[in-house]
């Protein structure tokens, strides 16, 4: 049942995402950082669409199933590469005919060392600081 609920999170309609309950403990920030990721013998390349202190959303027309362990590597501008493991925790599947403009998978970081966690927190703060500010 828990897996079913995680999949459905990606299938919410626009109104429930805009005004619904925020289920996240950490704020996510839009970004576009290239990421190489692998599971077993499968190696892929895509973009991180958003990032938080505990995970990322990877844009993909063919996301891995929930529970898949991924090994990821991404290099933010001007920084050393970050190599981290994670687990696919929810999926927003590709739907033909434009029914889903944001397919991909949410990946929660796993096995973070204190140093790696601090690097990710610093990256999230940088992304948050550099994001476009809305006009007031």
Domains of the chain are: 2-9+25-130 (2.40.10.220)
Q: What is the pLDDT of residue 31?
A: 92
Listed residue (62, 105, 115, 44) closest to 84, CA to CA? 115
Question: For residue 126, is it left (φ>0), alpha (ψ between -120 and 50) or beta?
Answer: alpha
List phi, psi (to 5°) of 110: -130, 155
pLDDT of residue 116: 94
- State the pLDDT at residue 133: 58
pLDDT above 80: residue 2: no
Q: State the distance between the two ends of the chain, measured CA to CA, in whole angstroms.
A: 43
Which has the higher per-residue pLDDT, 128 or 130?
128
What average pLDDT does range 38-48 have in this prediction? 95
The share of the chain scoring above pLDDT 70, in percent, equals 76
Q: Judge whether residue 25 has pLDDT over 80.
A: no
């Amino acid at each position: 049942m828990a897996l079913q609920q995680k999949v459905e999170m990606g299938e919410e309609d626009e109104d429930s995402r805009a005004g619904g309950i925020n289920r996240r403990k950490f704020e996510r920030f839009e970004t576009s950082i290239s990421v190489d990721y692998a599971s077993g013998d499968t190696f892929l390349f895509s973009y991180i669409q958003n990032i938080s202190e505990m995970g990322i959303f990877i844009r993909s027309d063919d996301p891995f199933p929930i529970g898949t362990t991924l090994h990821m590597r991404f290099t933010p501008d001007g920084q050393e590469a970050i190599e981290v493991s994670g687990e696919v925790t929810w999926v927003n599947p590709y739907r033909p005919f434009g029914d889903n403009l944001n397919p991909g998978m949410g990946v929660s970081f796993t096995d973070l060392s204190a140093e790696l966690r601090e690097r990710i927190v610093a990256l999230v703060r940088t992304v948050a600081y550099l994001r476009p500010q809305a006009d007031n």
